[in-house]
Amino acid sequence: MSVLRVEKAVYDSIRSHGEETYPHECCGALLGHNTAEGWSIEASVKAGNTRTDSAHNRYQIAPGELVKIEREARGQGLSIAGFYHSHPDHPAQWSQTDLAEAHWLGCSYVITAVAKGVAAQTNSFRLAGDTEENKRFELEQIEVHEPVSK
């Protein structure tokens, strides 16, 4: 099982983002480095949810916004490691919609259940496989840690 290492401040930030946008889904990008065990997340970037037509159960990040996020990541020497979003009053489990719309192979998709406005379970799933035809989500362990001195 791969391990997603994430700094505590970042972990808290993505969970509280879901509380801020409740009852709508929040979304954002995770920035970090890839390691043998899995991604090490150093930063998160909040993104806009363009699915204003159905924000309570759908999210989409505008590609143009991702161009800017990727540029920002390059400037910090980081890669886009994955994405996070929330499930308002719904389990922190990937849905068929999540899988159908997932195309960032090898990246981590973090989901937080937000129950009645309060962040509950947070899970991470790595998008395994090497094609659209064999892609699948695999549960990964989340390891929250204090910032590492640089």
Partner 1 sequence: MTIFIPTPLRAFAAGKDAVEVNAGTIAGALDELTQAYPDLRKHLFTSEGRVRAFVNIYLNDEDVRYLPAKDATAVSSSDTLSIIPSIAGGC
Instruction: List residues binding partner 1 (CB under 8 A).
Output: 25, 27, 51, 54, 57-61, 63-64, 66-68, 70, 74, 79-81, 83, 85, 87-88, 90-91, 94-95, 97-98, 101-107, 109, 127, 130-131
What Cα–Cα distance (Å) separates residue 15 from each residue in 64, 73, 77?
Answer: 24, 21, 25
> 61 vs 149, which CB is nearer to partner 1?
61
* Nearest residue (CB) to partner 1, 71 versus 149: 71
Q: Residue 29 CB, nearest distance to partner 1 (Å)? A: 8
Q: Are 81 and 28 in contact (CB under 8 A)?
A: no
Q: Which two tokens stand for residue 8?
A: 């505590």
Which among 77, 85, 89 has a CA at the least distance from the CA of 45? 85
Query: Widest CA span of the chain, in angstroms?
Result: 43
Considering the complex, state which of residue 130 and residue 146 has its C-beta at the smaller distance from partner 1. Answer: 130
For partner 1, the closer of residues 133 and 146 by Cβ is 133
Question: Cα(97)–Cα(80) distance, rounded to whole angstroms?
Answer: 21
**Residue 54 has which token pair?**
């159905």
**Minimum distance between the CB of residue 11 and partner 1, rounded to whole angstroms?**
20
**Which residue number, 91 or 147, has a Cβ lying nearer to partner 1?**
91
Compute the least distance from the CB of residue 104 to partner 1, in Å. 5
Q: Which residues contact 136 (CB under 8 A, 6 or more apart)?
A: 99, 127, 128, 129
